[in-house]
A and B are shown apart, each in its own frame.
Chain A
């Protein structure tokens, strides 16, 4: 804007960019370099070109991890958007009590994920937990919620829904607030019912906001680690070994195959980039990038 100096912005944005490059770009390059070696600590390092990638891409467990991670991310984010949209509709009124409820429903998402997972682990506890107790009152037999292959996914799913549906609620409520009021007024004049107003007006007008909420949740859900670490550690067997946990276990948590872990990290990065690129292209304006 002001041609006093050639590039005045550099002094301001330079340090932040430099720091980020140092702390993120460097590790990425180092990961790329590591991924070309077979390095199973404490044994010496061997250069094996793309051998680690070949191993990963031929390993059924790696593909299983990819599949369940994707499945998990899609299922949780879609469910949270649908449920969040519904709850936001309930809260889209103006009364003192609804305002109070609005500030209360946000509580789960600020809690430490590790703490949330521990809390639910107690609720699911087969011998002490309130869930089996409550079901017992209804005459339903106790279950081993998170160690039984039949119930482990629903158990994890419920925790994610509990913690992250409020995220969608907040975003949808702000989206509802920004909707133009005149279309609703003319719909009222035309005598449209609330059901048809929801389907014909609210949903179409809100769809950009819903898409952004969905993508934001999708990007975050792909990273799931804390809940898995606290509840299942990838188990029973390797049933819930999502990508983050698989990389952790192979790379640093148990096996110390750092080269192999590094190669899977880069594959994970490629996978995780897809929804991020879609998100940024779709939400360019909202993210201030245009």
Chain B
């Protein structure tokens, strides 16, 4: 993976991805480009081998999953998935899936409801200590989650919210909020200020301008932000571990209880993993274009 073997060109290329150097041409490839291609293949194998293995194990029978050396030729089965979509001794899978999705969607809605106006406030107005206020919001994002679990546990106990989805929604919304404010601010800044000014001169209130002028233009941004935010919630573990019991348990927490059993049924562990992956992969596909902006904002950790 020597960087020297890479294609030297770092400049943006003309539209249509026309190649400029020998290494880019379909035919007559440069030697270094071949090495680079081999490197890319190696990276992809390294990336997808674990995922492939997980998927393969998830469609094995319990017996095949325990076979060693591993079987490559076997009769695939959806047994493990069937178990994960129904209730069984000690596990209430349908509830866990519902919890994870409900918390992801609802906390996202709450964080958008609070974060969109805030992002608008930060882009539209100039005021004193703006940088400080933004810094304050952003710094929440960087706090190690584990340091909040002890006080949050007592807070939720005081509010009779231990082991409820409400507790997770309230906490996750706060965790997503800094990210929503930061990323939406970028999207709002791309909306021409004249449009807002024109609306306000015509007598619209700021809130109306946000709702009817800015938001429609920034809709793709809102969608991307919402997807990022749901990803955060879907993947969160330590807070859910401490704040939930059986009732509000989310998928990551339920998944860890599978590996805490005396015998680990790898077919079911793998199937849980694959099912949990589906929404994240879908989101990854949809937000690719906005990934860089999201990453810097701490969309994914």
Contact = CB atoms under 8 A, between A and B. Distances in A.
Interface of A: 1-2, 7-13, 15-17, 19-20, 22-24, 26-28, 30-31, 34, 83, 85-87, 89-99, 101, 103-116, 118-123, 125, 127-128, 130, 133, 136, 162, 166-167, 170-171, 174, 176-177, 179-181, 184-185, 193-195, 197-198, 201-202, 212, 216, 219-220, 222-223, 225-226, 229-230, 243-244, 247-248, 251-252, 258, 261-262, 265-266, 268-269, 272, 276, 279-280, 286-290
Contact of A106 (B65, B124, B288): B288
B90 interface: no
Contact of B259 (A27, A121, A244): A121
Contacts of A31: 147-148, 150-151
Interface centre among B170, B235, B281, by most chain A C-beta atoms within 10 angstroms, is B235
A99 B13 CA distance: 14
Contacts, number: 333
Contact of B235 (A22, A112, A130): A112
B70 A128 contact: yes
Interface residues on B, range: 35 or more
Given A110-B280, A180-B11, 19 more contacts: A7-B127, A12-B118, A12-B124, A26-B151, A93-B33, A105-B43, A107-B51, A110-B231, A111-B280, A112-B251, A112-B252, A114-B255, A167-B300, A194-B8, A230-B256, A251-B150, A272-B144, A280-B135, A289-B135
Contacts of B181: 16
B69 A104 contact: no
Interface string B30-58: 00110011011001101110110110010
B151 A30 contact: yes
Given A9-B125, A15-B118, A198 B238 contact: no
Interface string B1-14: 11111111111110
Contact of B148 (A16, A27, A130, A272): A27
